[in-house]
Amino acid sequence: MKEINVTGQKRENLGKKASKELRKQGLIPCNLYGEKKGENGLPEALAFTIAFSELRKVIYTPHIYVINIDLDGVHHTAILKEIQFHPVTDAPLHVDFYEVNDQKPITIGIPVKLVGLAQGVRDGGRMNLSIRKINVTAPYQQIPEHLDVDVTSLRIGKSIKVGQLSYEGLEIATGKEVIVCSIKMTRNAAANAAKAANEA
């Protein structure tokens, strides 16, 4: 995984009004969830802010980053957990981070990358990618940037399911029956198949 460094400041003033003021200043309210738990047993959030200019490179990218956050001189290693966007402007309103360490595995969605030219596409079919990410569990250092799925031998009408895939050092958390990709019959492919059958 790629790494990126950002600097933030802890915030004392919480609530909607305070958050609105921060956004006016170009700052994004954030929470960091880690090992620390509150009295109710739920993870306790550390509230802080990061300048939007620093967060831009983390938010608007297809890549998954390990994020090194410097909060008032204290270092935290985290991954992006969730981003809340404004429903109209699409501006980021709030970001949640999840603290990671060397010992505890994490579960995260990794982008799927189809590798090779499928036989079914050569025969005139159309590739259909059903899911863009597959959830895997592993220590964060072992998380790859993407998961390669070899589609070379995939034919028209066939699909690849999650259960057919395996990656060294990764435990797949997405259901085995979930379809990753499939090749659909197109009109051209159907016409070619009919023509070949008639000529035979």
Judge whether residue 85 has pLDDT over 80: yes
**Neighbouring-strand partners of residue 104:** none
- Give the tens place of pLDDT for each residue, 143-153: 888 999 999 99
Confidence of residue 141 (pLDDT cuts 50, 70, 90): confident
For residue 75, give both structure tokens.
Answer: 């270092």
Q: What pLDDT is stored for residue 187 in this prediction?
A: 74
Least confident of 12-21, 43-52, 124-133, 179-188: 12-21
Query: Contact 144/178 with Cβ under 8 angstroms?
Result: no
Which pairs from 47-50 meet CB under 8 Å and 24+ separation?
Answer: 47/10, 47/11, 47/14, 48/8, 48/9, 48/10, 48/11, 49/8, 49/9, 49/11, 49/22, 50/6, 50/7, 50/8, 50/95
CB count, 10 Å around CB of 190? 13
The pTM score is: 0.73
* Cα angle value 26/32/37 (rounded, 5°): 150
Q: What is the mean pLDDT of the chain?
A: 85
Q: What pLDDT is stored for residue 42 in this prediction?
A: 67
Judge whether residue 200 has pLDDT over 60: no
Q: What pLDDT is stored for residue 190 in this prediction?
A: 66
Q: What pLDDT is stored for residue 189 in this prediction?
A: 62
Cα separation values, 85 from 2, 15, 58, 88, 92, Å: 24, 17, 14, 9, 4
For residue 162, give both structure tokens.
Answer: 């999650």
Q: What pLDDT is stored for residue 59 in this prediction?
A: 82
